[in-house]
Amino acid sequence: MAKIRGIEFEENLHNAMGLEFYNLSHRFGYQSPNWPYFEDVKIERIHYMAKSGVLSQRITTSMHNTTHIDAPAHVVQGTPFIDEVPLPHFFGSGIVVSIPKKKWEPITYDDMEKAAGKIVRPRDVVIVNTGWHHQYEDSEDYFCRAPGFVKSAGEWFVEKQVKVVGHDTQANDHPLATAIGPQRNGPLHPHLAEEYKEWSGGRDWKDDFPEWEPVHRILFNNGILGIENVGGDLDKVTGRRCTFAFFPWNWDRGDGCIIRLVAMIDPKGSYRIESGETFA
């Protein structure tokens, strides 16, 4: 048992169920690292102990902050909002694979096939560890210079009938296929154009990233959800098959939702979900 502020709680790895729980979410709160054109998180104490003898807080935030899941409606008009996605899409078995990547490197079909082609199963949750979660902070490097999925990776997920995709980078697409680069509503950071040209050996970012968020659109048009900014204990479950839970709010017409992504492992294989038997 772990004692926290005087109260005892069962621990993540030692509990009556015999399960291991791993947090794969970054912390949410005051000055959370934020995507470059979103308003900052605001947290206000509207009641607190000295004033009211109770703590109540009011939060103003985008749902695309910290570890979160996108609804298809976030990018593709006429597709489901978060409350319309069936509950099984927020729970299931899957894998965490390691695909180490550096600045602006693409994650391709071949990368996915090499890392997971022999182990992925239809309807799996697939989470990719690039190592970039160690860079998670309020910085240009994390949000603007991250590696990312390119179109062929999105096609791999569809081919393998994956249910949900998660990753430890800032978006379901390479950052330069978003408004950070030359795409729709961008560039938010025009100074990166020359930096990319030097990094790439003279190529124009508009030629290398001709489409706006193609991976988002491939995933969402095929009923595959995407979890962005995975972090926490990700390294501890990399290379393992786990069960995942990541339920969002039942938010009417929601475009996505901040989640607590949790990986669960049953070392003894003895825990079972209740059968639903009735009782008097």
d(Cα 101, Cα 129) in Å, to the nearest integer? 9
Name 246's Cβ contacts closer than 8 Å, sequence gap at least 6.
Answer: 69, 90, 91, 164, 227, 259, 260, 261, 262
Beta strands in the chain (DSSP E): 2-4, 7-9, 20-23, 42-47, 56-60, 68-70, 91-98, 106-107, 125-129, 148-149, 164-167, 225-228, 241-245, 256-258, 262-265
Other C-beta atoms lying within 10 Å of the C-beta of residue 280: 2
- Total domains in the fold of the chain: 1
Q: Is residue 168 part of a domain?
A: yes
Domain with 246, as residue range(s), is 2-265
pTM, entire model: 0.96
> Is residue 275 domain-resident?
no
Using the structure block, give the residue that is written with the tokens 């190529």: 203
In this predicted structure, what is the pLDDT of residue 227? Answer: 98
Q: Tell me the pLDDT tens digit for each residue of 223-244.
A: 999 999 999 999 999 999 999 9
Amino acid 280: pLDDT: 78
pLDDT tens, position by position, 137-192: 999 999 999 999 999 999 999 999 999 999 999 999 999 999 999 999 999 999 99
What's the CATH code of the domain at 202?
Answer: 3.50.30.50
Residue 277 lies in a domain: no
Residue 181: inside a domain: yes
Q: What are 211's two structure tokens?
A: 């489409």
Name the nearest CA neighbour of 63 among 90, 84, 31, 38: 38
CA distance 173 to 170: 8
Query: Could you give the 3-state DSSP secondary structure of residue 23?
Result: strand
Tens digit of each residue's pLDDT (9 = 90 or more) over 236-279: 999 999 999 999 999 999 999 999 999 999 999 999 999 999 98
* Assigned domain for 274 exists: no
Residue 91 has pLDDT above 90, yes or no: yes
Q: Does residue 187 have a cis peptide bond before it, meaning omega lies within 30 degrees of 0?
A: yes
Give percent of the chain with pLDDT exceeding 90. 98
Q: How far apart are the first and last CA of the chain?
A: 33
Evaluate whether residue 279 is within a structural domain: no
User: Does a structural domain hold residue 180?
Assistant: yes
Give the C-alpha separation, 35 to 144, whole Å.
9
In a domain, 89, yes or no: yes
